[in-house]
């Protein structure tokens, strides 16, 4: 115990301390307590290490679907339990000029589309690439989330990692690139953050990251047992309900997705071979596989909608000026032909691999058994340079006939899960966004779940586009569906969408949320999911008598607790 005189002196000295000064003093005194040092003597290195461990680190995240944010929150909780202060930062709101004030700065970020940053993190990404920042005092580590099936795997993480280095920051953890099954690797990465935070500056550069382990996807072979166009006569859409039977037992959960790698149209492959003069049986080695030219074009390489970077490489190989546009390989060859088969071999080597497409599973293991799985697929159509194009995989699936065989895999969606059976759920899923909710309803019906179920569904017309109409009406009759609210945009003079139905039921929606209901959104990201989220925020603000900031915090809390989840595309 201190004498009264010493205690008084200590209070006088420390009374004006800032928080950081108080933390430093605490470490200083702890060092004295563990050694024979007295005031004025050099404190042992261990005491300095303690002051480092008490420093605050920043864990920033850039997210599109919520995975990066959810992981950042989880890891921050783990790190805090070890006595390290963590400041969570959303890159959509982070001010890049504050980087100069940071010490230990770690980022979790995903990659979207053609190697692009998440939309909400783009402002931050652009700022650090377009400005010469002085961040020489910054020590950093990047955890990049991605899917190695896509050609530009974890590119956003790579870009930020290399840009920080160019700007003079010190990399204290090597870039960590995580595939779809990132749980263990992410926790290992958090352990390395703890190591760094608890070591002196002189030893942080020695920190290493455990080697990456990969988990291969399990492939299933299935037979198409039913393929039905759910749209009626008069619809300008084709939406297919596809049932697949397997001999091998399936393992999946409601909310998961089915992954398919489409085969390229055979007639296009044949025309490409004819245009280039390449021997279809010639064995060619690409970055990932060695196979015949014909097999590469048919099964393994993307030929339908080339990346701009691939078009640029094509131009370099052929020595031609090609505009920076996205074209199919066939159109590229027609307009800018290769000189010979040898040049085309080089083209084959720069083509990216065929990327998988994911479709929400619309069946339930509990209701349909482990030898059958369903998906709901709209045949996609779009235009490039005024020329109508079909989506590769949706068209591939739509062309299947009953009895034909399909290879697929299951993609877990751990964030998109049903709550406990006694909890209520609100589901918002226009168009094919209904797919996982069909699964949810069959699941809850099969297990006799006591929680209430409310579905908001919309499409173009009631007569032609009411997907799964008979099933939903049956669920209403049996009480599995408590409420069904419909919005058909082309049936009224003023277009009505699901967000308008939400507005009409605002009071009850808010009451369900207040009573603990979980909220799910599935369908197109832009504009549907954004419009729905704005509406939900308005409902929380209006019916809950909250300010804009409070409503945002309310929704964020729902998201963090797993009660507001999205599966948008």
Q: How many CB atoms lie within 10 A of CB 12?
A: 9
Of 555, 544, 543, 536, whose CA–CA distance to 428 is shortest? Answer: 536
Give a yes or no: residue 453 inside a domain: yes
Range of the domain at 486: 425-568
Q: What is the 3-state secondary structure (H, E, C) of 428-447?
A: ECCHHHHHHHHHHHHHHHHH
Q: Evaluate whether 371 touches 425 at the Cβ level (below 8 Å).
A: no
Burial of 547 (0-12, 13-18, 19+ CB in 10 A): exposed
Give a yes or no: residue 298 inside a domain: yes
Give a yes or no: residue 416 inside a domain: no
Does 431 lie in the same domain as 556? yes
Give a yes or no: residue 179 inside a domain: yes
pLDDT in tens, 307-338: 888 999 999 999 999 988 888 999 999 999 99
Give a yes or no: residue 19 inside a domain: no
Does 232 lie in the same domain as 319? no
Residue % of the chain over a pLDDT of 90: 62
pLDDT value at 569 more than 90: no
Q: Evaluate whether 252 touches 365 at the Cβ level (below 8 Å).
A: yes
- What torsion do the CA atoms of 92, 93, 95, 98 make, to the nearest 10 degrees? -110
Give a yes or no: residue 20 inside a domain: no
Does 180 lie in the same domain as 92? yes
Give a yes or no: residue 345 inside a domain: yes
Of 430, 500, 427, 442, whose CA–CA distance to 475 is shortest? Answer: 442
Element (H, E) at 246: strand 239-246
Domain total for the chain? 4
* Total-model pTM: 0.67
Using pLDDT thresholds of 50, 70 and 90, give the confidence band for residue 546: very high
Q: Is the peptide bond before 63 cis (omega within 30 degrees of 0)?
A: no
Does 449 lie in the same domain as 383? no
Q: Which CATH number belongs to the domain containing residue 506 in this structure?
A: 3.40.50.80
Q: Which CATH number belongs to the domain containing residue 397 in this structure?
A: 2.40.30.10
Of 512, 503, 460, whose CA–CA distance to 482 is shortest? Answer: 512
Mean of the per-residue pLDDT values for the chain? 86
Where would I find the beta strands (DSSP E) of 247-287? 257-260, 283-285
Does 538 lie in the same domain as 485? yes
Does 237 lie in the same domain as 282? no
pLDDT in tens, 91-134: 988 889 889 888 999 999 999 887 899 998 999 999 999 998 99
Give a yes or no: residue 188 inside a domain: yes
201 contacts: CB under 8 Å, gap ≥ 6:
52, 139
pLDDT value at 3 more than 70: no
Q: Which CATH number belongs to the domain containing residue 100 in this structure?
A: 3.40.50.360
């Amino acid at each position: 115990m201190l004498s009264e005189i010493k205690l008084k002196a200590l209070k006088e000295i420390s009374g004006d301390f800032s928080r950081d000064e108080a933390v430093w003093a605490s470490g200083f005194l702890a060092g004295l307590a563990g050694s024979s040092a007295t005031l004025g003597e050099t404190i042992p290195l261990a005491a300095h290490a303690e002051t480092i461990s008490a420093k605050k680190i920043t864990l920033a995240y850039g997210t599109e679907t919520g995975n990066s944010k959810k992981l950042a929150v989880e890891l921050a909780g783990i790190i805090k339990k070890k006595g390290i202060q963590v400041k969570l930062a959303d890159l959509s709101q982070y001010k890049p000029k504050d980087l100069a004030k940071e010490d230990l700065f770690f980022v979790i970020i995903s990659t979207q589309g053609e190697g692009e940053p998440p939309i909400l993190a783009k402002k931050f990404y652009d700022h650090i690439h377009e400005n010469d920042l002085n961040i020489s005092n910054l020590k950093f580590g990047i955890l990049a989330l991605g899917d190695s099936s896509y050609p530009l795997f974890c590119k956003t993480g790579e870009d930020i990692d290399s840009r920080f280095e160019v700007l003079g920051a010190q990399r204290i953890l090597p870039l960590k690139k995580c595939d779809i099954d990132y749980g263990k690797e992410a926790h290992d990465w958090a352990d390395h953050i703890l190591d760094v935070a608890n070591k002196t500056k002189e030893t942080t550069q020695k920190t290493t990251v455990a080697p990456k382990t990969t988990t291969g996807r399990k492939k299933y072979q299935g037979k198409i047992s039913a393929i039905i166009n759910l749209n009626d006569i008069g619809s300008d859409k084709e939406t297919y309900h596809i049932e697949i039977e397997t001999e091998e037992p399936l393992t999946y959960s409601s909310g998961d997705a089915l992954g398919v790698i489409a085969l390229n149209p055979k007639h296009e492959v044949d025309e490409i071979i004819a245009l280039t003069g390449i021997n279809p049986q010639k064995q060619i080695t690409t970055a990932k596989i060695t196979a015949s030219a014909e097999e590469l074009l048919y099964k393994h390489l993307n030929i339908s909608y080339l990346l701009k970077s691939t078009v640029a490489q094509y131009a370099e190989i052929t020595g031609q000026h090609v505009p920076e546009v996205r074209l199919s390989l066939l159109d590229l060859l027609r307009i800018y032909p290769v000189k010979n088969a040898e040049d085309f071999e080089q083209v084959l080597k720069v083509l990216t691999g065929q990327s998988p497409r994911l479709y929400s599973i619309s069946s339930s293991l509990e209701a349909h058994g482990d030898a059958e799985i369903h998906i709901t697929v709209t045949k996609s159509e779009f235009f490039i340079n005024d020329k109508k194009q079909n989506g590769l995989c949706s068209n591939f699936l739509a062309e299947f006939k009953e009895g034909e065989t399909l290879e697929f895999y299951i993609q877990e969606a751990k964030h998109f899960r049903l709550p406990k059976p006694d909890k209520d759920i609100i589901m918002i899923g226009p168009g094919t966004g209904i797919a996982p909710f069909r699964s949810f309803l069959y699941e809850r019906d099969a297990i006799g779940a006591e929680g209430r179920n409310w579905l908001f569904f919309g499409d173009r017309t009631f007569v032609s586009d009411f997907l799964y109409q008979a099933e939903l009406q049956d669920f209403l009759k049996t009480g599995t569906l408590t409420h069904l609210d419909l919005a058909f945009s082309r049936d009224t003079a003023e277009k009505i969408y699901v967000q308008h139905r939400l507005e009409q039921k605002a009071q009850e929606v808010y009451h369900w949320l207040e009573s603990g209901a979980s909220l799910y959104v599935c369908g197109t990201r832009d504009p549907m999911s954004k419009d729905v989220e704005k509406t939900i925020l308005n409902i929380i603000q209006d019916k809950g008598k909250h300010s804009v900031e409070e409503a945002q915090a309310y929704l964020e809390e729902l998201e963090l607790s797993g009660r507001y989840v999205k599966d948008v595309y």
